[in-house]
Amino acid sequence: MTRITRKILVVDDDDFVRGFCTEMLVSAGYETETSIDGLDAIDKLKTSVYDLVISDIVMPRLDGIGLYACIVKEYAYLEDRFLFITGGIRGDIEPAEIFPSLTGRIIKKPFNPLEFLKIVESIISVPIAEHLGKEGINRRKEPRYPCIVDCSLLINNGYMLELFAAQTQDVSKSGMRIKYFKQEPLKAEENAGVNMDTFKIQRDGQVQWSKSLTDSAMSGLALKEHLPISVILTRLSE
């Protein structure tokens, strides 16, 4: 049976800690990437999908708490796949006081490598593809590509057309995951139109699933016409 390799992002401004964590994780069979602070991590999140993010708290430019706040807002699938390792807390505030979901997922330095790996495995025992599928986020079997681009979402509710500001999260040949600023999530099988001005692309689709976020909602759309993936990827790389 082929072993599914989990991909972990390690975020720390200390070269030694990044290297130490990476060495432990690689020796345990994980694939790793590293970032030097929160802003660097956000750049990587725009183009890659991870099974887990491990982060220091006190870092320059954007600290770990700021990074987690961004993940909660922009990358909801990682909200419960985040682990803090830290030698100090910012001021007198514990991260779990701000985000109760972090309770039990903060490791103080120095830490026991075996305990560290045990906690990592407990968080990502289910591969991200299966994890996302259980939440209804990854029902597409075809390759998906990160694509965070502003767009507009058009809904025909039977009485009038409604237009909402939106943002694609990823795309595939026949579908996309889209976040939009509407309090009530769209209903499954509801029809929707998407206008991607950046690529001069318009597509009609049908809602497959929806979920509420903190200040917005997210849905998966099955498109009625395929997307030109090669064109989109070329434009994103420019």
pLDDT at 24: 93
Q: What are 141-169's pLDDT values in tens digits?
A: 567 788 889 999 998 766 778 888 999 98
- Domain range annotation of the chain: 7-134, 145-237
pLDDT at 168: 93
pLDDT at 88: 60
Whether the model clears a pTM of 0.75, i.e. scores above it, the answer is: no
pLDDT at 202: 93
Helix 38-45 × helix 64-74 angle, to 10°:
20
CATH superfamily of 7-134: Response regulator (3.40.50.2300)
Q: Is 96 exposed, middle or buried (0-12, 13-18, 19+ CB in 10 A)?
A: middle
Q: How far apart are CA 77 and CA 71, in angstroms?
A: 8
Residue ranges of the chain with pLDDT lower than 70?
A: 1-5, 88-104, 126-142, 157-158
- Could you tell me if 213 and 237 are in contact, meaning their C-beta atoms sit under 8 angstroms apart? no
The residue type of 172 is: S
Classified by CATH at the fold level, domain 145-237 comes out as: Thrombin, subunit H (2.40.10)
